[in-house]
Structure 1
Amino acid sequence: MLRIGLTGGIGAGKSTVARRLVELGATLVDADLIAREVVEPGSPGLAEVAAAFGDGVLDADGGLDRPKLGAVVFGDPAARQRLNGILHPLIGRRTAELVAAAPPDAIVVQDIPLLVEGTMSSAFPLVIVVHATMEERIRRLVEDRGMTAEDARARIAAQADDAARRAAADVWLDNTGTPGAVRAEVDRLWRDRLVPFEANLRLDRPRPPMPPRLVEPDPDWPARYDRLAARIRTAVGDRAVRVDHIGSTAVAGFPAKDVLDIQLGVHTLDGADERDALRGAGFTLCPAIVADNPKPADPDPAHWAKRLYGSADPGRPVNLHVRAVDSSGYRYALLFRDWLRAEPAAREEYLATKRQAAATHSADSDTSGYAEAKEPWFDAALSTAERWATRTGWRIPESDETPQHVGMDSPKL
């Protein structure tokens, strides 16, 4: 099963995308519908809301009067928190029931209007954001929903802005144009990414390896890392000591393969592993994949032990290295990154090595030959990096590079 988060600002046309995904075969779980279902007349949820806020929030038929309740809670943080305490558990339980009822091979799309505002994106292996220009959103709200332009602008301003949504988006669908245009984009997304992503997760396999090809540095690499690091921490929980961006894509302005390398530090590799948790975040165990990963010769191979995972998402190549935080491999991955960040000469030498290896193995169907061609350079670089660490007093950084998150907001009424 593949779970996808779908969101977008009011008037962006998220429902158009959701309908097309359902037509293609997705299972839709609509947060708005669930939020209404849990407070239907006669429900325990409605009884709790009435007990907390009084019968004044009910209409003449005994149902929930949403405008009256909204007037009570949206200007009062304490009241909003009290409402959240009633509704969030009910919505969460009902959502879990619907997701659990989906078939094992389902692509479950969870339509959540406040996914970004509620900082819920890290709970999904992939987030789709539907976008339209401000002018188009206002036009739709005025013509289709009967709002005034002033009310439409106010509703838009009360939600997350485009920058926050872009930070959460793995897929950004521009729905400013015609419904046919965005449906064509959704069809391509379904065929080329979502269907193979689900199959890879279900069959417990990573995306196919890529031939070694260096690209110019992508300014989006840090944002991609931020999203992935948040997912890894959410999936693994307390087992994660820290998460770090490592490898060439962690060095600003440095050409690299378009594959992110991430290190998950754990207390020990012994005992229960993180395999099931990471599958929920979109990763599968892939010992056959050879990553862009320094592994110098060492008298004790146990010092370099790790588990290697790869992204099952065909649209996002990632190598996830799981290492014990007291291992040599864990320390060296961070040292190597920081040494390259600090030393231009080291970057130039390593880039020349990578370019030669990539040219030699450009026709390979995987990266094994490319990685092996760099091993002699890594062996020599270890002692150079260690001398740099001694000279500069380098130590493992005290904190990782995982972004911080704000608290939950209220569900849409």
Structure 2
Amino acid sequence: MRVLLSTLGSRGDVQPLVALASRLTALGHQVRLCAPPDFARWVASFRIPFVPVGPPWRRSAAPRSRAAVPKPSPAQVRKLAESSIGIQFEVLSAAARDCDVLVASTGLQIAARTVAEKRGIPYVFAALCPAALPSPHHPPLPLPVLGEVPAPASADNSDLWAANLRHVNDTFAAPLNALRSAVGLGTVDDVSDHIHTDRPWLATDPTLAPWPDVADPAVYQPGAWLLPDKRALPAELTAFLDAGGPCVYVGFGSVAAPPGLLETAVRAVRAVGCRLVVSRGWAPLSPVDRSPDCLVVGEVNQQDLFREVAVVVHHGGAGTTTTAARAGTPQVVVPQVYDQHYFARRVSALGIGTAHPGSVPTVESLTEALGAALRPEVAARAREFAGVVRTDAAQVAAERLVVAPGA
């Protein structure tokens, strides 16, 4: 079987597909991965053929003031939609030329199903967060590219979804249907239903991020697609961890960190009597001082590192949240965009960490959050929860895809 996997987004969107691709390859199938060009070298390290699509995603992670990012006008949004759909169709059509099935994750891939239909192959949509799929049990995820912000907790979810689906249709229906007409396909009445299909997959851990309607047979949830990491931790990092005294990890992956985060984190971590391991990430994060109680690291094995620290402070991406949960380490989630607010709420609800109130911490607020996460009962709950996180989901999903593509 020849499989095209496609996504638009950050490392957290790409890595689950690399995990799935690795399992498919191990089963003897051919895989091609389509993603933003930032990830070409990294994906190639797994010997997975790579096709770049769209502009570099890293631009969205550049440090900047949120006030300096104006909400796009309706005309700008329409132009962006037309351009994005056209580029997606052109790139994915070429990438899918000899494939037997197309798997897309993230709802920004408006043209993916049209490519599959034109090629006459099955199409699978795999969400990486339950809130990416419509349900009265949760609000829709805000799209920063469209200038959207999280809805207040008091809002009615059904009303929010109705408004979201209208917005999606108003933004994408015209350019999508123009494309479909040009390639001889019928029009789409509901863009969201078209993208998600009536049998979507949900690649999240069923205990950490469950589909809220357990009686709904339409959503297939195998678990989170985790990529095993066998790399040893760098000697400098191991020596730092062994030097004595608990450590707190701070990292925001491939999203923009709030201004002044590191200065705030250094003071807050010291206030709770811990040392600090900083993941540079795309921000890039780096303390202003070089004190012996702080160490800056680059790309390392988070699966091993998280088991060695007392608390993981992060942005709330699906992958980082799941990795920390699997490590059995308490978390402090400081959500910034998109699904991160959902995962912050789940960490808090499960008692395996703390959801920071707001996206820009102060020394006082982060100190309080760290203190809460360091409580013995939270650490005990996090250790207990680690035992229920599934680790076989990528293998299970790969086997299902091979046996029943599109089901």
* TM-score past 0.5 threshold: no
Tell which has more relative contact order, 1 or 2 (C-alpha 8 A, sep 6+): 1
Pair member with larger Rg: 1
* Structure 2 length-normalised TM: 0.28
Using the size of structure 1 for normalisation, the TM-score is 0.28
